[in-house]
Amino acid sequence: MSQFITKEGVKNLHKPGEKLVTTHCCYCGMQCGMHIRVEEKTGRIAGVEPRYDWPVTKGKMCPKGVTAYQTIEHPDRILKPLIKRNGQFHEASWDEALSYIAENFQRIQRDYGKDAVGVFGGVSMTNEKCYLVGKYARVGLGTRYIDYNGRFCMSSAAGGMLKTFGIDRGMTLPVPDLEHTDCFFLAGSNSAECHPTSTQWFWKAKDKGAKLIVADPREVPIARVADVHLDLKPGTDSALAAGMIHLLIREGYVDYKYVEERCNNFEELKASVEYCTPEYTSMITGIAVEKLIKAAHIFGQSPRSVVMFARGVEQQSKGVENVQMYITMSLLRGMVGKFASGCGTFTGQGNGQGGREHGQKADLLPGYRKLTDPEAVKYVSSVWGIQPEEMPKPGVSAYEMFDLMHNGTIRAMHVMCSNPAVSAPNTNHVWKAFEKLDFMVVSDFFMSETAEFADVVLPATSWAEDDGTTTNLEGRVIRIRKVRDSLGESKSDWEIMQLIAERMGKGKFFPYKDAHEIFEEFRVASKGGPADYYGVTWERIDKEDGVFWPCPSEDHPGSPTMFKERFNNPDGKANLGIFNWREPGEVPTAEYPHILTTGRVVFHYLSGNQTRRVDFLMEQCPLPYAEMHPELAAQYNLHNGDKVKLVTRRGHMELDVRLTKTIRNDTVFVPYHWGKELAVNQLTNPCLDPISRMPEFKVCAVKLEKA
Ligand SMILES: Nc1nc2c(c(=O)[nH]1)N[C@H]1C(S)=C(S)[C@@H](COP(=O)(O)OP(=O)(O)OC[C@H]3O[C@@H](n4cnc5c(=O)[nH]c(N)nc54)[C@H](O)[C@@H]3O)O[C@H]1N2
Ligand SMILES: Nc1nc2c(c(=O)[nH]1)N[C@H]1C(S)=C(S)[C@@H](COP(=O)(O)OP(=O)(O)OC[C@H]3O[C@@H](n4cnc5c(=O)[nH]c(N)nc54)[C@H](O)[C@@H]3O)O[C@H]1N2
Ligand code: SF4
Ligand SMILES: [Mo]
């Protein structure tokens, strides 16, 4: 098979006897366009080809994306329901598994009330499935306790956007516009490893002279070509942004007309950053004064700038404040709502944007409606065919659900599309919570560290075995296509929820024949809400290369650029942040003298349950490690490859030392894609942001010992 380049660009070719199914990668929020090659005779998957005509990713893919197809027909796929008896899983029929689940859910709800059963969802699922998770919990099971893995991912970005703009849409501009940007300020984003195909836009802009500023405790790959690398101490982002804002004001870079017309709080902001001189900022953040000044001049002088941030900034106990302060930098320059300018978050999971808008969150209903708003409850109840009084009240956030499992409030769980035994903070607490449950169900296509705790494991289909939509990092709703029939007896997540709801006596609320029917209901459920998808249809998505929400009607063009005229707050203005320095939940002490931060590598995805099964990726990165500066290592006489014991107030583990000069000498970085004794979340701090309830994955105090 080959590709060839014509005058119009690269063409995809396929072999005789194969068809190409057009879809998107299952992993990150870039949602790279791809074709999957399918053998026509057998229906089996033969490989993948990037999609050159997809406007966001233009034929680029990363090592995870080009091998993702290998997980679909992987021999480890769970093909039949599994029931645990005497500590061992045994294959069972669907009928047996469903009866067993319904019996137990009903018994527990009879004895302890409806809320004793909880639901934990995930946003690797399509919009159709994510929408149904909310309805399944609230109507199918009648419980208030539902939350999802996006709480650990996008919740602080959401909180910061809502506070500032009055709406939470990941980027204020479409990705292809980035080519025309003059300056990028990237904070807490390892984009070259985590959103690899985004870098083509930075390169294109850089070729035309754009400047790049990167704020990260590590000199991540993208920082190596930056004009300024702001190597801040983890947990000091709001102070860095305040220092930049101080300089923007002092050096005369504020667009006063824009601020006057479109923003609130300028005087309070100004007063709050008055003392944030470069010297003060340097003292808090550890960044050299000259670098701060250089960055402010570059940013302040750029006619079109974009501020982008990611989990480095957001996964902190002041994630919301950090986000608001970084957005404020963009607002002071008058950038938001203008061409090739503005700000955004790098959405994490494939459907991290869409999956957070339609009711998986403890306090949200479809269309980003609030469960505390009686009008919203009335509307969604009418779409669902229930009485408003029947709608459960808001529950608690993801990590707080584990506390409720400990104290016996939650006695049964259905976890789907998430592996919190690896990915939740303070896993020792999480593992004990799962052990305490009376009954636990997991839907996954692979056995996972979480599924091992379950009483029943249900075989879900993979991303390539059903139709649907996701919403990418831009807010563009796109089509995921069925590539092959369900493997073994696996069923789509929506069908699994529908079948359980039926057994719970709620079948009439779940009448769907396919994902499209769910989409049609969900359009109506979102109608009139802040995340309005009513005007999006599957046909339009195909015709228009995706549709950007908000899109309230079929003749509405969608909203690629947000806030051209007004923001979504009642007065139409944006709320600038007001600086109020506070420390992270843990700071280094004599006993725990260093900082631990965690994150990702290019070769693995999240809990690793998918990528740890791909040989090529495992060859590149088989194990986690402790990345540290040679100066820090020298204090403990540690060398490359030595074993180091990391100890925090919550746990300890041993890891190989990896020395590099690209990290601060007070910080240790560990990737989190492995489970059990290799899970760095044994160490992380579950200290939560007061607004977003995001745990502080990015900062805690750690002690090192030579093992
Ligand atoms: N290869 C790969 N790609 C992925 C994923 C994956 O697992 N693997 N996951 C996807 C998902 S769900 C997500 S959420 C995204 C995450 O994408 P990113 O947020 O880019 O990834 P992280 O590695 O979590 O963190 C980014 C950076 O934050 C830095 N950092 C740590 N502490 C601080 C701090 O206090 N301040 C600042 N400014 N920076 C800090 C770290 O050094 C790290 O380089 O990636 C998506 N893409
Ligand atoms: N220390 C530390 N911890 C972190 C982070 C960090 O930076 N540092 N980042 C956090 C972030 S940003 C995130 S997003 C979370 C993610 O953490 P998780 O939610 O645990 O992420 P995944 O590994 O994607 O887990 C998804 C599980 O569902 C399965 N799965 C995938 N697709 C589907 C599907 O369509 N249906 C079903 N039923 N199953 C499916 C996979 O096999 C896998 O077992 O981790 C968080 N944890
Ligand atoms: S950049 Fe993200 S969406 Fe694209 S191939 Fe890699 S993991 Fe998949
Ligand atoms: Mo994420």
- Which DSSP string corresponds to 25-88? -SSBTT--EEEEEEETTT--EEEEEE-TT-TTTTT---HHHHHGGGGTT-TT---S-EEEETTE
**Beta carbon of 122 within 6 Å of any ligand 2 atom:** yes
**Beta carbon of 319 within 6 Å of any ligand 2 atom:** no
How many CB atoms are closer than 10 A to CB 60? 19
pLDDT band with cut points at 50, 70 and 90 for residue 201? very high
Ligand 4 ion: nearby residues, β-carbon < 5 Å? 153, 348
> How wide is the angle at C-alpha 184 spanned by C-alphas 178 and 186, nearest 5°?
115
- Determine which residue's CA is closest to atom 3 belonging to ligand 1: 194
* Cα 462 versus chain centre, distance: 19
- Determine which residue's CA is closest to atom 37 belonging to ligand 2: 417
Contact assessment for residue 381 and residue 388, using Cβ atoms and an 8 Å cutoff: yes
Task: Give the total residue count for the chain.
Answer: 707
Burial of 678 from C-beta contacts in 10 A (0-12 / 13-18 / 19+): middle
Question: Which tokens go with 530?
Answer: 């802040």
Pocket test for ligand 1, best of 31, 190, 664 (most atoms within 8 A of CB): 190
Beta bridge partners of 6: 9
User: Rg for the chain (alpha carbons), in Å?
Assistant: 24
**Beta carbon of 312 within 6 Å of any ligand 1 atom:** yes
State the Cα torsion 59-65-67-72 to the nearest 10°.
-120
> How wide is the angle at C-alpha 428 spanned by C-alphas 426 and 430, nearest 5°?
75
Atom from ligand 2 closest to the CA of residue 149: 19
Residue 37 has pLDDT above 50, yes or no: yes
Tell which residue, 505, 678, 558, 588, has the closest CA to residue 105: 505
Residues 6+ apart with CB under 8 A from 40: 17, 18, 19
* Cα–Cα distance, 240 to 232 (Å, whole number): 8
Contact assessment for residue 19 and residue 42, using Cβ atoms and an 8 Å cutoff: no
* Cα–Cα distance, 694 to 318 (Å, whole number): 9
Mean pLDDT of the chain: 97
- Determine which residue's CA is closest to atom 40 belonging to ligand 2: 417
Question: Which tokens go with 373?
Answer: 């708003």
**Beta carbon of 443 within 6 Å of any ligand 2 atom:** yes
Burial of 221 from C-beta contacts in 10 A (0-12 / 13-18 / 19+): middle
Maximum separation of any 2 CA atoms in the chain, in Å: 71
- Determine which residue's CA is closest to atom 17 belonging to ligand 1: 194
Question: Which tokens go with 625?
Answer: 């490690």
pLDDT at 1: 41
**Beta carbon of 151 within 6 Å of any ligand 1 atom:** no
> What average pLDDT does the segment 539-567 reach?
98
- Determine which residue's CA is closest to atom 8 belonging to ligand 3: 65
- Determine which residue's CA is closest to atom 10 belonging to ligand 1: 348
Q: How far is the CA of 332 from the centre of ligand 3 (A)?
A: 33
Residue 2 has pLDDT above 80, yes or no: no
- Determine which residue's CA is closest to atom 19 belonging to ligand 1: 311
pLDDT band with cut points at 50, 70 and 90 for residue 12? low
Beta bridge partners of 639: none
pLDDT at 9: 66
Question: Which tokens go with 390?
Answer: 């029947």
Contact assessment for residue 141 and residue 114, using Cβ atoms and an 8 Å cutoff: yes
Q: How far is the CA of 418 from the centre of ligand 2 (A)?
A: 5
Contact assessment for residue 528 and residue 503, using Cβ atoms and an 8 Å cutoff: no
- Determine which residue's CA is closest to atom 4 belonging to ligand 3: 32
- Determine which residue's CA is closest to atom 38 belonging to ligand 1: 188
- Determine which residue's CA is closest to atom 3 belonging to ligand 3: 31
Contact assessment for residue 460 and residue 494, using Cβ atoms and an 8 Å cutoff: no
Beta bridge partners of 204: none
**Beta carbon of 681 within 6 Å of any ligand 2 atom:** yes
> What average pLDDT does the segment 131-153 reach?
98
Query: Which residue in the block uniquely carries the two structure tokens 């010992």?
Result: 705
pLDDT at 16: 87
Tell which residue, 348, 400, 391, has the closest CA to residue 372: 391
- pTM value is 0.97
pLDDT at 21: 95
pLDDT digits (tens, 9 = 90+) for 430-443: 999 999 999 999 99
Pocket test for ligand 1, best of 24, 194, 660 (most atoms within 8 A of CB): 194
How many CB atoms are closer than 10 A to CB 404? 18
Atom from ligand 3 closest to the CA of residue 198: 1
Pocket test for ligand 3, best of 54, 61, 471 (most atoms within 8 A of CB): 61
Burial of 524 from C-beta contacts in 10 A (0-12 / 13-18 / 19+): middle
Q: How far is the CA of 101 from the centre of ligand 3 (A)?
A: 36
Contact assessment for residue 420 and residue 398, using Cβ atoms and an 8 Å cutoff: yes
Q: How far is the CA of 123 from the centre of ligand 2 (A)?
A: 8
Q: How far is the CA of 65 from the centre of ligand 3 (A)?
A: 5
pLDDT band with cut points at 50, 70 and 90 for residue 211? very high
Closest ligand to 64 CA? 3
Tell which residue, 417, 348, 60, has the closest CA to residue 194: 348
Strand order, beta sheet including 117-121: 88-91, 82-85, 456-459, 439-444, 412-416, 117-121, 146-148
What 495-499 contacts at long range (C-beta under 8 Å, 24+ apart), as own/partner pairs, is 496/416, 496/443, 496/458, 496/460, 497/132, 497/133, 497/136, 497/140, 498/132, 499/94, 499/98
**Beta carbon of 292 within 6 Å of any ligand 1 atom:** no
Q: How far is the CA of 250 from the centre of ligand 4 (A)?
A: 36
> How wide is the angle at C-alpha 604 spanned by C-alphas 456 and 90, nearest 5°?
20
**Alpha-carbon distances of 325 from 166, 167, 238, 287, 307, rounded to whole Å:** 15, 16, 6, 18, 11
**Beta carbon of 311 within 6 Å of any ligand 1 atom:** yes
Closest ligand to 601 CA? 1
**Beta carbon of 346 within 6 Å of any ligand 2 atom:** no
Residues 6+ apart with CB under 8 A from 267: none
**Alpha-carbon distances of 286 from 233, 290, 530, 661, 666, rounded to whole Å:** 6, 12, 40, 16, 10
Ligand 3 site residues, Cβ closer than 6 angstroms: 25, 27-28, 30-32, 61-62, 64-65, 195-197
Q: How far is the CA of 699 from the centre of ligand 4 (A)?
A: 16
φ/ψ (deg, to 5) at 93: -80, 160
φ/ψ (deg, to 5) at 686: -80, 20
Q: How far is the CA of 691 from the centre of ligand 2 (A)?
A: 22
Look up residue 181 and give its DSSP letter: -
**Beta carbon of 419 within 6 Å of any ligand 2 atom:** yes
> What average pLDDT does the segment 123-128 reach?
98
**Beta carbon of 187 within 6 Å of any ligand 1 atom:** yes
**Beta carbon of 515 within 6 Å of any ligand 2 atom:** no
**Beta carbon of 608 within 6 Å of any ligand 1 atom:** no
Burial of 219 from C-beta contacts in 10 A (0-12 / 13-18 / 19+): middle
Which segments within 321-361 are labelled E, that is strand?
A: 342-345
**Domains within the chain, CATH numbers bracketed:** 4-71 (3.30.200.210), 171-345 (3.40.228.10), 594-706 (2.40.40.20)
Residue 303 has pLDDT above 90, yes or no: yes
Residues 6+ apart with CB under 8 A from 604: 64, 611, 612, 617, 621, 671, 673
**What counts of helices (H) and strands (E) characterise the chain?**
22, 32
pLDDT band with cut points at 50, 70 and 90 for residue 6? low
Residue 537 has pLDDT above 80, yes or no: yes
Question: Which tokens go with 618?
Answer: 């495992």
- Determine which residue's CA is closest to atom 6 belonging to ligand 3: 62
Contact assessment for residue 22 and residue 546, using Cβ atoms and an 8 Å cutoff: no
Q: How far is the CA of 588 from the centre of ligand 1 (A)?
A: 22
Burial of 227 from C-beta contacts in 10 A (0-12 / 13-18 / 19+): middle
- Determine which residue's CA is closest to atom 4 belonging to ligand 2: 423
Residue 335 has pLDDT above 60, yes or no: yes
Contact assessment for residue 454 and residue 13, using Cβ atoms and an 8 Å cutoff: no
